[in-house]
Structure 1
């Protein structure tokens, strides 16, 4: 009934999706976190909304740039908007019963697969934990492989650490076993192959994650002088550039299309990869990502 796929998000700039500032957080704009590993996530609603809005904008632009008559343009636009409704469902209309419809696309939240962390001597290490690896294995349709904590993999051309440990800001963690199986999890994105990858314990991931977040203080200035406007001061945290996240996709098969994957990829115009913005603060350089969609094996 459902055709399974998954998406990969590589952050090309800091990515902030989360809560607004509040007194209870010390005026800090926090990102959304997974309840178990306490690592950053992108809610499924944010991904779905971005895909839906992008498809609608692309369709409107194509209709506007067409050479057909005005009447044909209007008809074409209506057909293209109904295509968005076909994939994502119809919006509720006030006063009309049963005006909504179920979309064919189901998207869950994106969790981290690899998080870049500064490490003297490397200088960047990509870190993950068994819980995050296991979720990726399941949604990508891969065989479940147990990867022990402190396993690592050094791609070809990368200098192997001279000491049997990695130093982080909060101390050292041992390099116990060079695990060739980790190479399988570095092939999805080319940039991953430029760094040493390292697996830590699930209980350690939250601390290392908070250590690696991008943080910035922001203010709003008065229009006529360089002073803060009232109390317009806040801090923001974001997933750093180079983070890799994964999310599952399910496409419900219809009576007219039993293999919707190729049509969805074509309609979304993500045949190989596509740059998309997620989250807030886009106007000041946040949220730029590269998205890759893949069919589950």
Structure 2
């Protein structure tokens, strides 16, 4: 059985990538889509650090090498976090959350549901008379289609109540707009005289108000302890509804609201 954890970003989130190109400090990206994601190891490590009971920690996540014991696998597995809806600034509609068939199909496959994904350019906020302006993109009114059951594709919780304008784009256009909508902060290093010491550096982050999700479940290692581990993990998440994931903690980055 696969369960899900949803993450609603409360602040920009930065998870370091494997490479740094020039003066750009990038974020972790999927190799086949180049889209941002949160590695499972980052999420697992953060949730593990919230456990104060060492026995429960070892049972759920496995023990450490420093324990001096033989390494054992924990009873919980955690997957990577993927984007479901990402906010994009709009000159015509303030903020619009975008997704695409590729992202919705991925979510639907893992969720094992049979919802019919609507056509490209379906949205819930058009009257058929006005165009939509998304950063440097303009979508003409005649291309937009009404989307009646959009709430089936957005978890209806208090955390997601702000997501009220959604739009499905073609895969390639959605990918481009996501790349353009990432936060990029300029960093400079100052010396003791408050003068610039070296060049500029740009750091990327996934924007706040992005909705992400990740799968989790019980490993085969759990055997007879599966139900207790399942309950312990759910209780652990319930006790830590807000987590801080990724780097730049001192700057207030990475705060997320999570729920099952």
With structure 1 as the length reference, what TM-score do the two structures score?
Answer: 0.78
Equivalent residue for 2:194?
Answer: 226
Residue 17 of structure 1 pairs with residue 45 of structure 2? no
- Aligned mate of 1:283, from 244, 250, 253: 250
Q: How does 1:1-297 map to 2 (within 5 A)?
A: 3-19=1-17, 22=20, 25-55=21-51, 59=52, 80-93=53-66, 99-154=70-125, 160=126, 163-174=129-140, 175-190=143-158, 192-194=160-162, 195-222=164-191, 224-228=192-196, 230-231=197-198, 233-252=200-219, 253-258=222-227, 260-266=229-235, 268-270=236-238, 274-293=241-260
Conserved 8 A contact 1:151-1:198: yes
User: How far does residue 105 in structure 1 lie from its aligned partner after superposition?
Assistant: 1.1
Question: Which blocks of at least 5 consecutive residues in structure 1 are unaligned?
Answer: 60-79, 155-159
After alignment, is 36-45 or 207-216 more displaced? 36-45
Inter-CA distance 211–163: structure 2 relative to 1 (3 Å threshold): farther
Question: Which blocks of at least 5 consecutive residues in structure 2 are unaligned?
Answer: none
Inter-CA distance 135–291: structure 2 relative to 1 (3 Å threshold): same
Please give the root-mean-square deviation of Cα atoms over the aligned residues, in Å: 2.3
Inter-CA distance 211–38: structure 2 relative to 1 (3 Å threshold): same
Inter-CA distance 14–5: structure 2 relative to 1 (3 Å threshold): same
User: How far does residue 33 in structure 1 lie from its aligned partner after superposition?
Assistant: 1.7
Residue by residue, what CA displacement relative to the aligned partner does 1:178-211 show, whole Å, maximum 9, x if unpaired? 1223211223443544431000011112210112
User: How far does residue 269 in structure 1 lie from its aligned partner after superposition?
Assistant: 4.3
User: How far does residue 141 in structure 1 lie from its aligned partner after superposition?
Assistant: 3.3
Q: What is the CA–CA distance in structure 2 between the aligned matches of 1:282 and 1:232, rounded to whole Å? A: 23
Conserved 8 A contact 2:185-2:202: yes
Residue by residue, what CA displacement relative to the aligned partner does 1:101-159 show, whole Å, maximum 9, x if unpaired? 011111111110010000112100000011111111122332242332111124xxxxx
Q: Secondary structure at the match of 1:46?
A: helix
Conserved 8 A contact 1:165-1:172: yes
User: How far does residue 243 in structure 1 lie from its aligned partner after superposition?
Assistant: 0.5
User: How far does residue 28 in structure 1 lie from its aligned partner after superposition?
Assistant: 0.5
User: How far does residue 162 in structure 1 lie from its aligned partner after superposition?
Assistant: 6.3
After alignment, is 234-243 or 193-202 more displaced? 193-202
Conserved 8 A contact 1:251-1:261: yes
The structure with the largest alpha-carbon Rg is 1
